[in-house]
Amino acid sequence: MSKPRIPVAEPELGEQELKNVTVAIKSGWVSSKGEFIERFEKGFANYVGTRHGVSTCNGTTALHLALVCLGVGKGDEVIVPSLTFVAVPNAVIYTGAKPVFVDSHPAYWCMDPQKIRKKISKKTKAIIPVHLYGHPCEMTPILEIAKEKGVYLIEDCAEAHGAEYKNRKVGCFGDISCFSFYGNKILTTGEGGMCLTDSSEYANSMKILRDHGMNPKKRYWHDFVGFNYRMTNLQAALGVAQLERIESTIRRKTWLASVYKEVLGKINNVTLAPEMPWARTVYWLYSILLRGVNRDRIMLDMDEAGVETRPFFYPAHKLPPYKTKEELIEAERLSKHGMNLPSSTKLSENEVLHVCDSLKRALVQQVR
């Protein structure tokens, strides 16, 4: 018999999700036409505060679509953080452009605005800040640099639905912003994604690009090579229901974080997840740094106690496809010491306390 385990993330799917998907199935619209798609696009764009939403089949295709829409391609460079999920540099590579990696800010772990400027070249076409693990990037200096250098800004909000920078939701700052609705994200459609923008020109272009590049006025006439990156009505049906509960999801994650803060804040070897004064973080995965101990050993001990954890991402500039000799000290340090703790909204207080307890026990083994 398998031991009961506390997972890092688990979606919360209820009656409304079931009802909407049933409606979609009974309607017969199971592919990329149907009432839920527009409802979800409009509803989500409205929630974030942009004029247009263009849904996609996942977050990676949302990034690719945004890059292609802005004309990024061969010979261009795109500035991305090194400490992020690999889909970000991958989407850049799909266009033929080259990702250029920037180090993390030591205090809040996202791309360090001070380190962007010296990575800008004549070839730079766009910057993709990633709001990592639910914490927003510092947008003011990033916006300034983008404006001054005349490069596009694409926000990657895949881990930060509902997070705010200076009381404005992330996803409002970029020329285009991209979201993922993968099963472990703050809002899920199973697989899914969306591009948000205020520009009707970009929105129309992305709608055509995601639909094989087909001319909307002339069926089977394709002016250029497009993609099939459409979301299905079934996914959108889930999304509409998930959107109704997003604020309660974020409240629950914030509460989980408050329990973690209170219990783990007193421990010497633990650095808590950041929350800058200008940020409303949504704690996608509650994350900590461990100092003076072997993180991987701690993770193994917690695993033994039935607690699932995740290490931070590897810095992309260390991965085989992107390997450089460059040192990005903060990204490397964070990657080595960081871990994500169970952050499912379904967790009870007792389960969170059990997670804390298993961490404390594992620490005692190493520290004594």
Ligand X SMILES: *Cc1c(COP(=O)(O)O)cnc(C)c1O
Which residues between 188 and 217 bind ligand X (CB under 6 A)?
193
State in angstroms the smallest separation of the CB of 12 from ligand X: 18
> HSE of 261 in the Cβ direction (CA atoms, 13 Å)?
10
Question: Does 231 sit near ligand X (CB under 6 A)?
Answer: no
Count of C-beta atoms within a 10 Å radius of residue 262: 10
Stretch of residues binding ligand X (CB under 6 A), selected from 21-29, 81-89, 103-111, 228-236: 81-89
Instruction: Tell me which of 182, 202, 260, 312 binds ligand X, using CB under 6 A.
Output: 182
Which residues between 6 and 45 bind ligand X (CB under 6 A)?
none
Question: Does 85 sit near ligand X (CB under 6 A)?
Answer: yes
Give 142 or 264: the residue with its C-beta nearer to ligand X: 142
Instruction: Tell me which of 156, 301, 308, 332 binds ligand X, using CB under 6 A.
Output: 156
Nearest-5° Cα angle at 177, 175 to 181? 165
Count of C-beta atoms within a 10 Å radius of residue 192: 28
Query: In terms of Cα–Cα distance, which of 188, 181, 191, 183 is closest to 157?
Result: 181
Stated as kind and residue range, the H or E segment containing 244 is helix 233-244
State in angstroms the smallest separation of the CB of 352 from ligand X: 23
Question: Does 88 sit near ligand X (CB under 6 A)?
Answer: yes
- Residues with Cβ < 8 Å from 2, sequence gap 6 or more? none
Question: Does 59 sit near ligand X (CB under 6 A)?
Answer: yes
DSSP string of 148-194? Answer: HHT-EEEEE-TT-TT-EETTEETTSSSSEEEEE--TTSSS--SS-EE
Give 84 or 95: the residue with its C-beta nearer to ligand X: 84
Pattern 116-145, binding to ligand X, x per CB under 6 A? Answer: --------------x---------------
Query: In terms of Cα–Cα distance, which of 153, 133, 137 is closest to 312?
Result: 133
Residues making contact with ligand X (CB under 6 A): 58-60, 84-85, 87-88, 130, 156, 158-159, 180, 182, 193
